[in-house]
């Protein structure tokens, strides 16, 4: 049950974050992905190791779904 709720939350969270002004501002080159440098504008203390953890499909970039999942599972604090 928790797993299902998590899956739903991650899906809804991704949709919400993709359209949130804060997430949009963080994506400064507007390519729809969050580079480490872009994420550090919001999460100043984010390390390369943490970024790699958030990049769950290991393609070298964090997409809105990965960002949402990281916030959902507490790896990152929610953005205001």
Spatial CB neighbours of 77, under 8 Å, sequence gap ≥ 6 = 43, 71
Candidate residues 27, 69, 70, 72; the one interacting with Ca ion per rule CB under 5 A: 27
55 touches Ca ion by CB under 5 A: yes
Candidate residues 7, 15, 59, 77; the one interacting with Ca ion per rule CB under 5 A: 59
Compare residues 27 and 72 and give the one whose CB is closer to Ca ion.
27
Q: Beta strands of the chain (E only): which ranges?
A: none
Q: C-beta of 57: minimal distance to Ca ion in Å?
A: 4
Total residues binding Ca ion (CB under 5 A): 8
Distances (CA, A) of 42 to 4, 54, 63: 29, 15, 15
Candidate ranges 1-9, 16-24, 59-67, 68-76; the one touching Ca ion (CB under 5 A): 59-67
Q: Is 78 strand, coil or helix? A: coil
């Amino acid at each position: 049950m928790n797993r299902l709720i998590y899956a739903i939350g991650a899906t809804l969270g991704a949709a919400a974050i993709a359209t949130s002004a804060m997430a949009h501002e963080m994506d400064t080159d507007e390519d729809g992905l969050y580079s480490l440098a872009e994420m550090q504008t919001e999460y100043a203390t984010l390390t390369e190791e943490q970024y790699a953890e958030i990049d769950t499909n290991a393609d070298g970039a964090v997409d809105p779904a990965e960002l949402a999942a990281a916030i959902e599972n507490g790896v990152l604090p929610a953005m205001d």
